[in-house]
Chain A
Amino acid sequence: MGENGRVSGEVLLKIDNISLSFGAVKAITNVSFDILKGEVRAIIGPNGAGKTSMLNVINGVYHPQEGTITFKNNVRSQMKPHDAAAQGISRTFQNVALFRGMTTLDNIMTGRNLKIKSNFLASLLYYGWTQREENRHRDFVEHIIGFLEIEAIRKVPVGRLPYGLQKRVELGRALAAEPELLLLDEPMAGMNLEEKQDMCRFVLDVNDEFGTTIALIEHDMGVVMDISDRVVVLDHGEKIADGTPDEVRANQDVIDAYLGVSHD
């Protein structure tokens, strides 16, 4: 809430008339909104509203039947996920998609994948240049580990970590790719108050220190109201509100969607 000094007004991502269906099921119907560079944009709505599907569309995992996505002034109607990543979009997942047998350090290093220039043969032989490159990446990843305060679990296989820490590691992996747009799918799910406060702090720090634009799906209204600059509300695949947290909070359609309306 409040003035965000980093928002310049330039549009980073624009969603135009996106519709997505799976057979007869309409997941998203004619949704349009934009995300400004440097802002924290929340996407909220009751369960089943199409929020994760929306993120998947932006990310290139789902391909919409209609509509276009404009990212950094490139218009496209669909893209493969690795293209999205190469363009600077990173994301976390609702159910934590880390490599369970690998350590925290290795998981975050995988986030550097697109930045690693050595080819397979060079990595196998590990001669001078490759080793130096790995050190550079390791240095960057260590800064992320320091930033997220997870030094103590550097070498622990992530499968053994408590849920809250796994989410933090996943955030680290997404950050390792140095994204311009970071998509967070329910980053606070399953956390107690203290963990949520920590996660909020990290999200805000990322936005503040690195200037990363953030799109965030979240259910905790307190979090949404506190840290987002603007909010878009989806319900049953349609957009029902779009504006600042205060505007959205007062919107009758939003209230009805969450609390229900009696049909007499």
Chain B
Amino acid sequence: MSVQSTEVSRPLPLPPRSRERDFATLFRRYGLQSATSLMAIALWIVLMVGASQTWLHFDIYSALMSTVPLTGIVALTLTLVVVAREIDLSFGSVMAVGTWVFMSVHQPELGLVAGLAAGLGAGLLNGIIVVRFGVPSLVATIGTWFFWGGIVVYGTGGNGGGTDFASGFVTHLLTGRIGGYVPAEFPWMLGIAIVLWFVLNRSRFGAHVYLVGDNDQSARMMGVRTDRVRMTAFALVGVAAAFAGIASTLEANYFWPTVGSGAMLPTVATVFLGGTSIFGGRGTVFGTVVAAFVIGAIEPGIVSLNLTGLLTQVIYGAVIIGALVLQAFVLRRSER
């Protein structure tokens, strides 16, 4: 009797999982991330073999941990915007705006809050222009990029300033050295990456980011508040940009009104190198983190291999094009 009753309560058997199907599913889900990771590891091996005196010592990693997060943190939030099938090119100037506000307040804690709030405001303005007025984000954010850049140049008269006033808690919080070696920027980036992973994969907002980027119309018809989703994504980039601007200024101990002006290309390249689709609906936090380190290692890599710095741009371009071609190949294979 008891044997029978357990027989009855057993759930319906699922069809057996074939190995083939598991491989296809895994390839589809992780193919792109694996390709990006393999590329990063290959680059790393080349550097360790070619310039072992540099890449087998901790110093270079300590240096990377202070520079990579500055593009990485913005690239992480930009990933959400691109997954939602939008783009933000204004973050370079928003970095400057946030930092300028931080400097102007002259009280580090308040300044940090005010600077981040300024970034939030700039991000929301992008969102409003795109969502409420229907201006394509590519042109809208080129417009705000110029606008905010100009505001900072005008407001500062082109003059920078030292950050000694902030040389206490805030400087330690953003750019201190943990145990004397690990720059605080690095745990900040890891923490933000983990939070954004949860946001993107385990929150309704994250689910909606993917849906908006994939099929905005059906998402709207199924009750997703698509405008609010886009707006939030733009706002996050604004805050992250202000944060990165302030951190890089504290790291340098000096505020240049042009802070962030060189950030655009490496940051955008990081997002696409990380496997986020320019057509929306596809992208991962993991890919962006790995790509941030690849992009960040290119320049020191060239120097350490004793190649001329004049080659930097060539190798930059070649790595990005090569990676994107590889991605297109993986994608086409996985869709079969």
Chains A and B are bound partners: no
Q: Which residues of A contact B (CB under 8 A)?
A: none
